[in-house]
Amino acid sequence: MGKQIRKIMGNDYKKFSELANSAFEGLNADKWLESHIEETTKENLYGVFKEEELVAGMRTFDFEMNYSSTSIRVGGIGMLAVDMLHKKEKNAYQLLQYFFTLNKEAKVNLVMLHPFKVSFYKKMGFGIGTKNYQFYLNPNEFPYYNEKSHLEELTVEERGQILDCYNRIYSRTHGMTKRFPFEREMNRPFWFGKVIGFVDEGKVKGYFVYSSKEEDLYIHELFFESPAVIREFSTFLNSQSDQFKRVIINSNFDEIIHFVDSPESGEITMVDFPSTTDHKHIANVGIGVMYRIINCLDFFKELKEKNHLFNPSITLSVKLSINDDFYPINTLPFILYIRNGKILGIKESGPFDVEIRMNIAEFSSMVMGVENAHSYLKWGLMEISDESYIKLINSLFYTDSKPMVSKAF
């Protein structure tokens, strides 16, 4: 019996919802997925069919990402689900190959996903992204600045202002994806709980979304445009100490440990260290999204066309020899000619200063600024023809921060 992959539409929505619900507990796809897909132009569903039987499916996304101040299109994949009776039949493999082809045809060169198993996707060329931290903070440890006059609870009437605030922060944050004025996207903050905003002269300049359970206050989103905003949020959180014992917040960054008075969680989960120091637990850490460049040559051509600026002090010609076993058409050595931080030219052959060799997974992570080149060299995950160039390679792919992803997909 032959298989085919096609877009999910019409009567197939119900089939996919049943498949997704069985794979992801609590998803309730049958209650929202069809209307959502019909509304947005940025998402689609595809399935593997044996005649009319749906045996696997996926949800695809068309994102606009801030890549170190340059806007690029990025593909996303989520809700990858395989019927339990049809596992170990390479259905997920076929869907991922199809996903790569869809993006290649659309001239999208970078894709990302939230992994259900890191090793599975690493074998398929995805590199690890920024870690996710979960902090458990005592409300008293948030500094009290005695100022919260700009704070107010926002309603759906302010959802346009919330979207504008988010997108201003997106425009200056590496790795973030833009949000568009679709109904579900604009209502998203209100699904999780209450929305507190910093409003100045009628303009939302920061907001956070929170809910509570027993003695825990959960922050689901937190965005702010200036120190003045986070100081008022901090005062608000400090003032909740009479009701809550913990503020639980997820973040791609651990910067908050420098802001609060003490980041100690109170959890006792640290193993013994060969030291007399009592190491305090501050956060749980998990894997975030994984990234993959599906067309290295066109990725850098896109950056060249968009006049992307790397480190302006870098003038260098570097040969990139990137191995991609899962998607062999992406294995093509080429040379980047960079002058004053901009790509001057890209050639398949010619003279060069230095050559680096890597697998696509680690290369994708490095290009996204997740880790620097020195780390990959240290662990034997990069080969370089002349180690005296390692600092230049470090600087070439340096980003102001590791990529931040706030989108669940």
- 342 Cβ partners below 8 Å, 6+ apart? 304, 307, 308, 309, 310
Q: What is the pLDDT of residue 261?
A: 95
- 292: β partners: 111
pTM: 0.93
> Is the pLDDT reported for residue 271 higher than 90?
no
Strand 194-200 versus strand 53-67 pairing type? unpaired
Q: Please name which of 219, 239, 227 lies closest in space to residue 146, comparing C-alpha atoms.
A: 239
Provide the phi-psi class of 68: left if phi over 0, else alpha when psi is between -120 and 50, else beta.
left
267 by DSSP, 3-state: which?
coil
Strand 290-293 versus strand 110-113 pairing type? antiparallel
Sketch out the chain's domains with CATH numbers.
Answer: 3-108 (3.40.630.30), 134-286 (3.40.630.30), 292-396 (3.30.1050.10)
Q: What is the pLDDT of residue 103?
A: 97
> Is the pLDDT reported for residue 60 higher than 80?
yes
Q: What is the pLDDT of residue 275?
A: 54
> pLDDT band for position 87 (50/70/90)?
confident
Q: What is the pLDDT of residue 277?
A: 57
- Residue count of the chain, please give it: 409
pLDDT in tens, 321-351: 999 999 999 998 999 999 999 999 999 999 9
Tally helices (H) and strands (E) across the chain.
12, 19
> 130, 405 in Cβ contact below 8 A?
yes
Q: Please name which of 364, 290, 302, 293 lies closest in space to residue 110, comparing C-alpha atoms.
A: 293
- 84 Cβ partners below 8 Å, 6+ apart? 22
> 336, 349 in Cβ contact below 8 A?
no
Q: In the predicted model, what is the mean pLDDT of residues 41-47?
A: 93
> Is the pLDDT reported for residue 269 higher than 90?
no
pLDDT in tens, 146-201: 999 999 999 999 999 999 999 999 999 999 999 999 888 899 899 899 999 999 99
pLDDT in tens, 94-141: 999 999 999 999 999 999 999 989 999 999 999 999 999 999 999 999
> pLDDT band for position 40 (50/70/90)?
confident
